[in-house]
C-alpha cells in the first residue's frame, strides 16, 4: 500500500478560527492565546495548562473557553469521510500529517468518523514542530517514509513538501483528490 500523508484542517475537517471569537463574543482571538496555542500544538505545554492559562487570558471559565476552542473545528469536509474510508481501492492507506493539539485531535475523531480508518499519523504535538519546519517533515519520514502523495490546503506547505521531493497537491475537493489518487 502507498502512503497518503493527509492534513486534517480544511482537508478532513472544516476549520474557522473566527468561530472562536464569535463564540466568546470578542473581536478576535487574543495574541496571548495564539502564542499558547502554538506552544500546545508543538507539545511545549499540556492541554490542561493551555486551558487554564488561555481561559484566564480570555477572562472566562475553563469550560466556556474549551467549548469556544473546540468550535474552531466545525464539521467534516464534504466527501472526505467516504474517500478516506475507501482509500484501499486506490491502493493507498492514510497517515495524518497535521499541526494539531490533542484536544483538537479528539474533536476530529468526533466530527470525522473516517479518522478511525487512519491507523496513525505525525502530529505537531508529537514532533515538537509545525509545518513547514523541517523537523515536522523529518519526523514523518522517520516514522512512515516518504509518502506517495501529500495533500494539504495550504499552498506554502505544498511548496515546502515539494522542496523535499514529496509528491504533493493542494486540496480543493474530495472529488479532485480522488482523481489525483487514481492517477498515482
- For all residues of the chain together, what is the average pLDDT? 96
State the pLDDT at residue 178. 97
Cβ distance 129 to 136 under 8 Å?
Answer: yes
Give the pLDDT confidence score for residue 38 in this predicted structure: 96
Note the pLDDT tens digit of each residue in 19-61.
Answer: 999 999 999 999 999 999 999 999 999 999 999 999 999 999 9
Per DSSP, the chain holds a count of helices (H) and strands (E) of: 10, 7
pLDDT of residue 90: 96
Q: Is residue 69 a contact partner of residue 103, using CB atoms and an 8 Å limit?
A: yes
Residue 128: burial class (beta carbons within 10 Å; 0-12, 13-18, 19+): middle
CA distance 65 to 70: 9
State what percent of residues in the chain have pLDDT above 90.
99
Which cell goes with 102?
490533542
- Cα separation of 20 and 146, whole Å? 35
pTM, whole model, 2 decimals? Answer: 0.94
Neighbours of 130 (CB within 10 A): 18
What SS3 state is found at 178?
Answer: helix
- The pLDDT of 1-11, averaged and rounded, is 97
State residue 117's pLDDT score. 94
pLDDT in tens, 98-115: 999 999 999 999 999 999
Distance CA 51, CA 103 (A): 10
Amino acid at each position: 500500500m502507498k502512503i497518503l500523508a493527509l492534513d486534517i484542517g480544511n482537508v478532513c475537517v472544516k476549520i474557522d478560527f473566527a468561530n472562536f471569537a464569535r463564540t466568546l463574543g470578542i473581536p478576535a482571538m487574543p495574541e496571548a492565546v495564539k502564542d499558547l496555542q502554538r506552544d500546545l500544538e508543538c507539545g511545549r505545554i499540556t492541554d490542561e495548562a493551555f486551558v487554564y492559562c488561555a481561559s484566564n487570558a480570555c477572562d472566562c471559565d475553563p469550560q466556556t473557553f474549551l467549548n469556544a476552542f473546540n468550535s474552531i473545528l466545525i464539521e467534516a469536509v464534504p466527501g472526505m469521510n467516504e474517500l478516506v474510508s475507501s482509500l484501499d481501492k486506490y491502493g493507498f492507506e492514510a497517515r495524518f500529517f497535521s499541526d494539531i493539539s490533542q484536544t483538537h485531535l479528539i474533536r476530529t475523531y468526533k466530527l470525522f468518523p473516517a479518522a478511525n480508518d487512519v491507523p496513525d499519523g505525525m502530529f505537531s504535538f508529537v514532533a515538537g514542530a509545525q509545518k513547514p519546519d523541517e523537523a515536522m517533515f523529518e519526523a514523518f519520514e522517520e516514522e512512515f517514509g516518504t509518502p506517495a502523495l501529500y495533500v494539504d490546503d495550504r499552498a506554502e506547505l505544498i511548496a515546502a513538501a515539494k522542496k523535499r521531493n514529496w509528491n504533493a497537491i493542494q486540496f480543493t475537493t474530495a472529488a479532485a483528490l480522488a482523481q489525483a489518487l487514481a492517477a498515482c
